[in-house]
Amino acid sequence: MTLEDLGWNADFAAEFKPLAAKGWVPARLIRDNKITYGALLEGGEELEVIMGGKVYHDAACDAELPAVGDWVALDIGKDDGETVIRHRLTRQTCFSRKLPGKSSEEQVMAANVSVVVIVTDAGSDFNPRRMERYFMLTERSRAKAVVLVNKSDLFPDEVNEEARAEISELNKDADVYITSAARNEGLEVLKTYLKKGVSITLVGSSGVGKSTLVNQLLGEEWQWTSEVNELTGKGRHTTTARELMVLDDGGILIDNPGIREVQMWTDETTMRESFADVEEVASECKFHDCKHGTDKGCAIRASVEDGSLDVGRYESFLKLEEEIEELKKRQKKRQILVERRAKRDHRVKARNLADRIDYDKEQNPERF
C-alpha cells in the first residue's frame, strides 16, 4: 500500500517536507478511539497513536483536533515507546456538522474526502428539508454530493423514482441514484467515484444502510451487518465510531454512525446562497423589511399561494433566518470563551517564565 493509495498528493507532500526533516513519518488517521487513534502508514502498517500536547494546545476548538481522514506527522516511539501525533496537515476538504444540542462546537465527520455520499430511502427516512441541510454541509465541505435512494427493494419503482427526481430538483449538481444494498443493486455507480486515492464518506440517518453498502463494496471480509442482533434476530449492527477503509481495487471509504440530528454549521453566506431562489422572490416584496407574514405586497406569500414556491421550502427559509441569528449568538459566546482561555494560557505562560527567571537567578547569580 503506497501513500497515494491512501490519498496522499503533491500538496500534502510539500507541506510534509519540513516535518520529514524532523524524522517524523506521514500517516492517515483511520479510527478515533477517543483517547487514542488508529493510523495507517505507508506499506499498510496500522498503529495505535496518541495526540501530542502541542497539537492539543494549538487547537482553538474541537474541530481543529485530529479527526478520521486527517493526515498527520507521527513521531514513532522507539523501544516500545508511544507513537505521538506531532502535527496535523492542512485539510484539503472537511465535512463537518454542528454537534447536537445548543453547543456551537463543530464536529468533523470526515477530513480530506472528495465525495460525500448521502444515503436515504424513499420511505420514512425521505425528507427534502433534511436533504437540503445535507447539501449545505456538503457544499461547505467543498466535496461533491452524491445521493443514494437506498432500499429500493422495499418500494415500488415509481416511488423510488419520485424521490430521486425530487432530490435532483433540490440540487442540480448532485448525482442521485437508486440502490438496494441488500440486493447489491445499483452499487456499481459508486465504483465510478472510487478511484485510487479518492476518499468517500457515507452519511445519513441511522439504519438507512450505510454499513451494508460498505460491506457490499468491500466484499466478504467486512463483518458489521453479519453480526446478528440477539433480540430481533436481524443482521443489524449500529455503527458507533467512524472508520476509514481502503478498498483492494482502489478508493477509500469512511463509514459514519447515523446522524440523529443534522444541524447547521455553516457561514451565513453559504446559507443564503442555498436559498438564492427564495431570496430572489423576497427581493420583490413591496417592503424591504417584509416579514413575509401578513405584510402588504409580499411576493413570498403570493408565490406560495400560486404554487410557484413550495410551502416546505419557504418554511425552512424562515427557520434558517432564525437559525442564522441563533448561530451568531452562539459563535459570539464561543468567541468570548476562547478569548478567556487565551488570556488564561497567557497568564500561565507568564508565570512559568517568571518562575524560570527566578530559578536561573538562583543558579547563575553572576549573570544577573
The secondary element (H helix, E strand) that includes residue 14 is helix 10-20
Half-sphere exposure in the Cβ direction for 297 (13 Å, CA)? 8
Residue 225's binding partner, choosing from ligand GTP, Mg ion, Zn ion, none, with beta-carbon cut-off 5 to 8 A by kind?
Answer: ligand GTP
The secondary element (H helix, E strand) that includes residue 255 is strand 252-255
Give CA separation, 7 vs 50, 106, 170, 200, 359, in Å: 22, 24, 30, 11, 49
Nearer residue to Mg ion within complex by CB, 134 or 275: 134
Minimum distance from residue 95 beta carbon to ligand GTP (Å): 15
Residue 151's binding partner, choosing from Mg ion, Zn ion, ligand GTP, none, with beta-carbon cut-off 5 to 8 A by kind?
Answer: ligand GTP
Kindly indicate which of the ranges 65-73, 118-126, 131-139, 287-295 contains the residues binding Zn ion, using the contact rule CB under 5 A: 287-295
Nearer residue to ligand GTP within complex by CB, 223 or 270: 223
What would you measure as the largest C-alpha separation in the chain, in angstroms?
A: 89
Long-range pairs of 341-347 with CB within 8 A, sequence gap ≥ 24: 345/57
Positive/negative CA dihedral, 84, 89, 94, 100: positive
Binding stretches for Mg ion (CB under 5 A): 210-211, 239
Count residues contacting Zn ion (CB under 5 A)?
5
Nearer residue to ligand GTP within complex by CB, 204 or 251: 204
- The interface mask with Zn ion, positions 292-331, x = CB under 5 A, is x-----x-x-------------------------------
Out of 40, 149, 285, 327, point to the residue binding Zn ion (CB under 5 A).
Answer: 285
Nearer residue to ligand GTP within complex by CB, 96 or 216: 216
Please give the DSSP secondary-structure letter assigned to residue 235: B
Nearer residue to ligand GTP within complex by CB, 225 or 303: 225
Positive/negative CA dihedral, 176, 130, 285, 323: negative
Minimum distance from residue 146 beta carbon to ligand GTP (Å): 15
Cβ neighbours of residue 138 under 8 Å, at least 6 residues apart?
A: 95, 116, 118, 144, 145
Can residue 281 be called a binding residue for Zn ion (CB under 5 A)?
Answer: no
Nearer residue to Zn ion within complex by CB, 196 or 313: 313
Cβ neighbours of residue 73 under 8 Å, at least 6 residues apart?
A: 16, 19, 22, 24, 25, 26, 85, 86, 87, 88, 89
Residue 180's binding partner, choosing from Zn ion, ligand GTP, Mg ion, none, with beta-carbon cut-off 5 to 8 A by kind?
Answer: ligand GTP
Can residue 290 be called a binding residue for Zn ion (CB under 5 A)?
Answer: yes
Residues that bind Zn ion (CB under 5 A): 285, 290, 292, 298, 300
